[in-house]
Amino acid sequence: MRKLLVIGVVAILAILFVQPIRAYRTAQTELTSARTQLDDARAAKERAVKERDALGTREMLVREARRRGYIFPGETPFSVGNR
């Protein structure tokens, strides 16, 4: 009878600890995912800041504008292409 009572208590304790352990593991997985997303966002921000700083120079600004098809006032645009 005593063994049955001990087994019952152990079983109840095991059942009571299953849900909190699952919740903890889920929280750990979500935390890892959030940290990865944060690292990715920080890296993207760093790239954007570097690009912004590079475009801050007149030379880079003009190069990017020309690449996008802009011209200075008074210039005549032309394009060379295949027929």
pLDDT in tens, 36-55: 999 999 999 999 998 888 77
Backbone phi, psi, residue 56, to 5° = -70, -20
pTM: 0.52
Q: Are 55 and 64 in contact (CB under 8 A)?
A: yes
| pLDDT top residue among 18 and 25 | 25
| Tokens describing residue 41 | 């966002």
pLDDT score of 58: 85
Q: Are 54 and 60 in contact (CB under 8 A)?
A: yes
User: Is the pLDDT score of 83 beyond 60?
Assistant: no
| pLDDT top residue among 26 and 19 | 26
| Tokens describing residue 44 | 């993207």
pLDDT score of 78: 79
